[in-house]
Amino acid sequence: PINWSVQQVTQFLRVLHRLPQLNVKWSTIGAESTIKAGSSEASIKVDLALDPCIGGERPKFAYTPRFPKAKQEGWWVVLGSAETGELHALRRVTIPISRKPNGNSNNTSVTLSFTPPPWPGKVTYSLYIMSDSYFGINQQYQVQLDITQ
C-alpha cells in the first residue's frame, strides 16, 4: 500500500486532472476518398480534439515541474507500416487552447501526405499520435485503405 498524505493525494489528483484527453478522427482526402495505385501522392486528414479539462479550464502549458521553462503540449502524428518498418508521413502539431468558457477551439487538423503502394488492394497502416510532453498517453490506430486501380 502507498502511504500518502492528504496533501500528496490532492496534488496527484490535481496533476491527473490536467492530463490531456485526446480524441482522434481520420479520413482520406480526394475525389470520393479513393486512392489510386501508383499515384504520386495520397493524403489523409487527421482531426485532433482535446476534451475539456476535468474540474475547470484546460491549462495552457504541460505539467513539467522539472523542466526549466513552461512547455506547451505538442503531438507527433505519424503514419507508418508495422509490417515493413516504413515511415510514410510525420508531422508535429500543437493544439490551440481556448481561454473562453465555452471555447470550441481546442482542436486542430493536420494533413498527412504519403506515396501509396503501386498495386491495388487493401493496405493497413498504423497511425500513431504521440505526446512530446507525457509518457504513456500515446495512441495507435489501424488505418485500412482500399487502393484502387
- What pLDDT, on a 0 to 100 scale, did the predictor assign at position 17? 84
> Cβ distance 120 to 74 under 8 Å?
no
Per-residue confidence of the chain (149 residues) as pLDDT tens digits?
789 999 999 999 888 888 888 999 999 886 546 788 888 888 999 999 988 776 667 788 888 888 899 999 999 999 999 888 999 999 999 988 765 655 556 889 999 999 988 989 999 999 999 999 999 999 999 999 888 88
Q: pTM for this structure?
A: 0.84
Q: What is the pLDDT at residue 30?
A: 65
Whether residue 80 contacts residue 91, with contact meaning beta carbons closer than 8 Å, is answered with: no
**pLDDT for the residue 8:** 94
Please name the residues in contact with 137: beta carbons below 8 A apart, sequence gap of 6 or more: 19, 20, 22, 131
